[in-house]
Amino acid sequence: MSGFSVAWLDLRERADNAARDKALAAQALSWLTADEAAMPIIVDLGSGTGSTLRALSLVGASPARDSPRSPDGDLVWRLVDHNPALLNEALRRHGKTHVIEDHEADLLDLATLPLTGARLVTASALFDLVSLSVVDALTARLVQHRAGLYAALNYDGTTTWTPPHPLDGHVLAAFNQDQRKDKGLGLALGPDAGDYLQMALTRAGYTIWVADSPWTLGPADAALVRELIPGIANAVAEGYGLDTHALQEWKDFRMAHAATGRCVVGHQDVLALPTT
């Protein structure tokens, strides 16, 4: 998969940050920093340009959070991605302020992922892209290292548009089917990612917390919505039985309302910690 540009990741980050459940993120940080004897290692899978690092740094800096550790300088961030351009951008943005180890690696090579010493593994907007067997293999490695998992922003299959359009339901059903196609990491879990993570990690003896983290997009997010709409329309254009003219009409309607309408895209955040 090569389709994630710095520009697209930047465009979605404001919505991601607003959506992320802050209590769950703070709980993940508390677990990470609870062992005061060690400098905690956090491994971010599919790190992109470092959005999880930025999000957890913000949560860690919140005055509401009661921890003796700074969220930045006292952590080792291992950023793992197969796209060197994204890793370089993460280093450019954070290399001077954070302790970063960048690892160019394919998440399919799970056995070689650098989890040694990790207390927490994180991922944002990743698990809906991966297959069931990637989750199973990662779970086995988490157990082996007694590491926690904080998996934020897993698409849950729901999207609600305002104003509504008669084709919304058909487009969503087709899009959710498309979300289950192989995106480079095996047949994708798509909307089932949150549920499957919970099941696999519960089975492995972890304690699970879950929170909804929907994108709630309004006029301030028009630029993101204007990218989202053609992305959805392209994904469902072929193979799902949607009439080409009807789909074009849906797209035109949605674009016409991009700056004034609303769109809620459901996600789930999952935190799984080893049961002590």
Ligand X SMILES: C[S@@+](CC[C@H](N)C(=O)[O-])C[C@H]1O[C@@H](n2cnc3c(N)ncnc32)[C@H](O)[C@@H]1O
Sorted by sequence, the CB contacts under 8 Å of residue 169 that are 6+ apart come out as: none
Residue 128 within binding range of ligand X, rule CB under 6 A: no
CB closer to ligand X out of 211 and 259: 211
CB closer to ligand X out of 67 and 88: 88
CB closer to ligand X out of 184 and 218: 184
Name residues contacting ligand X, limited to 63-92 (CB under 6 A).
81-83, 86
CB closer to ligand X out of 101 and 252: 101
- The residue from 40, 46, 157, 190 that contacts ligand X (CB under 6 A) is 46
Q: Draw the binding track, 159-198, toward ligand X (x: CB under 6 A; -: no contact).
A: -------------------------xx-------------
- The residue from 27, 33, 57, 124 that contacts ligand X (CB under 6 A) is 124
CB closer to ligand X out of 94 and 257: 94
Q: How far is the CB of 104 from ligand X (least distance, A)?
A: 8
36: nearest Cα among 76, 67, 81: 67
Binding residues vs ligand X (CB under 6 A):
1, 4, 9, 16, 46-48, 51-52, 81-83, 86, 106-108, 124-126, 184-185
